[in-house]
Structure 1
């Protein structure tokens, strides 16, 4: 048997990639964008059935009991607190609970607001003795003293006159030390730390060696304490059950395609509904409020990805290491944002204007789609020719579109501004959407076909979560029990399939998102959790999985989550290893090496496959 990958499969070490740069000038110093780093990821202990068949959590807990009450989420809604700059308070103020409404309480050795010679125009928070005392903080639900962790924390700190002079410690909800780090150089820095699957509950910053100038902190941002990153639970997730529902959040998602062209990189007219937002998404977009560190990118399936940066930032950070998209802002000479660029792992580039509207999508082959906006229309044109023209009413709603063949499709809305029907050309009839929930008028409860037959229905609980999914006459009925989701013990959802078989999905929260780590009961092939158990690497990508027959597969991945090594049937005589090498410019494999065979791929300058060569090798 070959040894396992370094670092183990369930217990993962923090990634401290601390590349830094700054100027030693005490006045005109540079605020470096510190590489984000992560606390350890640790899968919970396996759960086992208790007497009576009810599963109980292992001795080690990794989730915090945060009750969810009627969650809803809209792109542009804040995931992060407003900036704390300490200019809100007079100089010399002892800081403790003044920012309770934003979700943080300060402590330490008499932390006060003062000025720093390195940044004379901006107050900072410093400990006592001045610039030498400890500074501590703990996160609470805004406006309360109730402890609540965050999944990301960003702050400025300095000005350091000596390297490794200040230690920064971060603690989880049970007071466990998640990680410690020191400044690797001199100057002032912006740090970011992600909460992993514990969440950051409190922190301490303190001198550990002599630093002539001491240190202070400024410009604090953090995810709203106690909140999950609900935007990432929208759209298609790693586990969708029923028709389809995300059991980790109770989110009902419905993806509809009204038109798809036949050319390479075809024009499409897609829509995506999400019960978390209660909205239909027609186009990707970027949402950003000037002066904040938060930018949200809505994807075609309705998922919302949050990035953090700030005024003058061109390269924005992801809120979780397993987000593979990269966001950049285009800046003018004054540092104002004039546009956006999103690069995806599949080598697509999306360009947005300063208001966040999508204006161009291009793929590696050079083919592209262009978007033009008018008062009463949106035009989507293919670089090879052909156009979809959307019509808008005076309220800006999409009332229909004309496809490249000149055929017209019509959208109508009900009195609550929810899409109620789509009319198709060539006597294709209407598809009707029902919203019958008496409490939440934006919840999709059913769909009827062109003959008026209702073929799909959904029911919801008071927290907007889908509790039942079924087709006509109860066919394919799937029910969801969320009573233990985000509750005490290990967070889980129990799903009952059309045959009455129950499956329980156990979650660990990683950077604000629920991830399945173990499954008990009847497996589903429609979910990444068709396997029984999972381990994650330090970037929150799947590192190992165990299927229902006990077969173990291990993965080693690169920073983008792409597979480098896969070991199958680990620990058995049938164990085998597959290695993959990737193109330096494209997300395309150049070599897949497996026992007895190597497959080589060659591409042209646009990523088109020009040659595939299979070489027989001797099996190890």
Structure 2
């Protein structure tokens, strides 16, 4: 029997629902508390998955949006800093560090408490501490522009943005989070917006910034909010080099590097540390004049693999509706009028998941500012 979620008849704008399976008990990674019913696998054939209270708002784009307000609240398991409630775009992959759907996402996959469709594509990864890697993540509810255009984030998409006269800072993370920091006028620092903040941001005399993150690492940013270095607790780092606003390379402290090759404002090739090239194609003007949409990725090997990305929903230019490998359809996704995923499946109807949503009320919240664009014209 196919899982389904409780559906709503309320005509609400961009509501959310925190969807939880009653048989799941969440706990910290590795603690032994995160488990299903004793020695039972996670439920795969539930008739109904109950919609309980959401904790965070959904920001689609940049402006005023609604968040739901239900009676019961259950905190989802989140490792590290929380995304700001004004822009709930977590990809919600395995919180223990994997790139597969965890207890908070199902299907191919869909984030259960927002209906956000995400798609993880790992092009390459290296070995060692803080290894260089290129992972691209399609995130339907993240509408800003990353290195690969709108809706696509990558391992290198870190940035800072400010609002409310610089009283609020927003740190963009590659997994879709927008972490909110509030200015403490006494210290001149921005502290993460949580009860007991660990992470904070300092501004230097030259106008640049350092973010001291919750993993005891440091990130430095230019005056415009572009990341220039990411360093972990042990002193291993990545250096980011730009030509204007175009990222040219990311260099590991070991000397290995990833190189970016641009054609106008489109990132068309990436060279891994061994010099192997990965190619990317775009559909011109899909989001308006000069704003292209990622259409394909060509991955090296024998034979070469071409991944084609489909956007077949005329209502939403950025809605990923599936992908093909070397011309053979592999997956299909569908959305409702509020941009939430309602179905995912593989070719032939394999592993089909159906989703619907039940939201009792909404609350108006303001969306954060757009993060800095990685190129000049997107």
Greater relative CO, 1 or 2 (CA 8 Å, sep 6+): 2
The answer to whether the 8 A contact 1:435-1:442 is kept is yes
Tell me the equivalent position of 1:420. Answer: 295
User: Closer, same or farther in 2 for the Cα pair 1:447/1:400, shift >3 Å?
Assistant: same
Question: Unaligned 5+ residue runs, structure 1?
Answer: 1-46, 48-52, 80-140, 142-147, 151-171, 175-195, 199-227, 492-508, 513-620
Q: Is the 8 A contact 2:218 2:230 kept in 1?
A: yes
Q: How does 1:163-202 map to 2 (within 5 A)?
A: none
Q: Which of the residues 86, 107, 111 maps onto 1:246? A: 111
Contact 1:286 1:295 in 2 (8 A): yes
Per-residue deviation, 1:440: 0.4
Q: Which residue of 2 aligns with 1:280?
A: 152
Q: 1:56 to 1:269 in 2, by over 3 A?
A: closer
Question: What is the deviation of 1:433?
Answer: 0.8
SS at match of 1:470: strand
Query: What pairs up with 1:111-190 in 2 under 5 angstroms?
Result: none
Query: How many residue pairs end up in the alignment?
Result: 285
* Aligned counterpart, 2:79: none
Q: Any idea what SS the aligned residue of 2:273 has?
A: coil
- Superposition TM-score, scaled by structure 1 size: 0.41
- Alpha carbon RMSD of aligned pairs, Å? 3.8
SS class of match (2:207): strand
* Deviation by residue 1:222-241 (Cα, 9 ceiling, x = unmatched): xxxxxx92523432266111
1:461, CA displacement in angstroms? 0.1
User: How far off its partner does 1:197 sit?
Assistant: 6.2
Indicate which of 104, 115, 133 corresponds to 1:268: 133
Contact 1:296-1:307 within 8 A present in 2 as well: yes
Q: State how far apart, in whole Å, the 2-side matches of 1:78 and 1:359 are.
A: 29
> Given the superposition, is the C-alpha separation of residues 440 and 325 from structure 1 closer, same or farther in structure 2, using an over 3 Å criterion?
farther
| Offset from partner CA, 1:75-120 (integer Å, 9 cap, x none) | xx367xxxxxxxxxxxxxxxxxxxxxxxxxxxxxxxxxxxxxxxxx
For the residues of structure 2 that align with 1:361 and 1:54, how far apart are their CA atoms?
Answer: 44
Q: Cα distance, 1:377 vs. partner?
A: 4.8
Match of residue 293 from structure 1 = 167
Q: 1:55 to 1:474 in 2, by over 3 A?
A: closer
- Deviation of 1:368 after TM superposition, in Å, equals 0.9
1:420-499 alignment to 2 at 5 Å?
420-426=295-301, 427-449=303-325, 451-482=326-357, 484-485=358-359, 487=360
- Structure-to-structure mapping, 1:312-327, within 5 angstroms: 314-321=188-195, 326-327=199-200
**Quick one: structure 1 residues 231 and 468, their matched pair in 2 at CA, closer, same or farther if it must change by over 3 Å?**
same
Please say which of residues 456-465 and 297-306 is displaced more in the overlay: 297-306
Q: Distance in 1 between matches of 2:341 and 2:70?
A: 29
* Residues 210-225 of structure 1 aligned to structure 2 (within 5 Å): none
For residue 272 of structure 2, the aligned residue among 380, 399, 403 is: 403
Tell me how far 1:242 sits from its aligned partner: 1.0
Alpha-carbon deviations, 1:50-76, whole Å to 9, x = none? Answer: xxx99999xxx9889x9x9xx6534xx
Q: Are the equivalent residues in 2 in contact too, given 1:233–1:246 (CA < 8 A)?
A: no
CA shift for structure 1 position 305:
1.6
Partner residue in 2 for 1:382: 252
Q: Is the 8 A contact 1:292 1:310 kept in 2?
A: no
Instruction: Name the counterpart of 1:369.
Output: 238
- Secondary structure in 1 matching 2:88: helix
Separation in 2, partners of 1:63, 1:367 = 38
The corresponding residue for 1:255 is 120
Distance (whole Å) between structure 2 residues aligned to residue 448 and residue 254 of structure 1 = 13
| Cα pair 2:240 2:247 within 8 Å, conserved | no
Residue in 1 aligned with 2:34? none
1:232 equivalent in alignment to 2:105: no
Shift of the 378–55 alpha-carbon distance from structure 1 to 2, 3 Å rule, reads closer
Moved segments of 4+, more than 6 Å: 53-57, 61-64, 310-313
